[in-house]
Structure 1
């Protein structure tokens, strides 16, 4: 299974801001509206990079993509342990993980970014997701 490399967002903009973006696209500064928005977001993330890095370290977040497979969670269960999952980026709980296995092995789940898991697993962990 190939992990997705992005998450789709929907935003609402005022008509004047949208028109200004369209002017910049029309005049060739950006290839399209999405290119403008991605660039603006990246610029803001660079502006606040130190704050984000400090928070990532302070909160002990794993950075990037983290996948939890059935085999991973069965090993946690066999060791009679529990996971406190803290991810900044994308956390994936594999499709073959049952809700029961997830509840038995995942004590808490914090994801800043996106969580990809079956709706059943998300429901089973609802009281543990922050």
Structure 2
């Protein structure tokens, strides 16, 4: 009997970005970390970004409403797309956050049901689905 267990693949809940900072700004961040205001550089940067987003919160909310976008995580399964197909609907997906197209969605089904796809944040889908929808991703 083996004590090795298969772990589920963990879907990342964040996206990695790279930024360039001047040495003086970086030094100031390091000083705040050293003084215990933040646990590390990433903590400082995440906090600064959240504060900026919060300061523009009303503008972001109005923009999302104006563009009829969904905020947060939006999953699209094969069953969802089959339902849209059966109803004769073409989806125009607009998400601020994370849009996930399930692994069981074929490129053919995606092409038959997704008319356009706008994601401000991140899109998770198979390489084949992304390739099939390339001209529909805005």
Residues 1:67 and 2:75 aligned together: yes
* Residue of structure 1 in register with 2:84 after alignment: 76
Report the Cα distance in structure 1 between the residues aligned to 2:106 and 2:66, rounded to whole angstroms.
32
- Quote the offset at 1:9 in angstroms: 1.5
Structure 2: stretches of 5+ with no match in the other structure: 1-8
Secondary structure of the corresponding residue to residue 63 of structure 1: strand
Query: Per-residue deviation at 1:80?
Result: 2.0
Count of residues paired in the alignment: 130
* 1:1-80 correspondence runs (5 A): 3-80=11-88
SS in 2 for 1:18: helix
TM-score, normalising length from structure 2?
A: 0.89
Show structure 1 runs of 5+ residues with no match. none
Q: Match of 1:11, SS? A: coil
Indicate the SS of the match to 1:86. Answer: strand
Residue 97 of structure 2: aligned partner: 89
**Which residue does the alignment assign to 1:125?**
133
What's the CA shift for 1:5? 2.5
| Pairwise CA distance, 1:16 | 1.7
CA RMSD after TM alignment? 1.3
What is the distance in 2 between the residues matched to 1:113 and 1:62? 12
State the structure with more CA Rg: 2
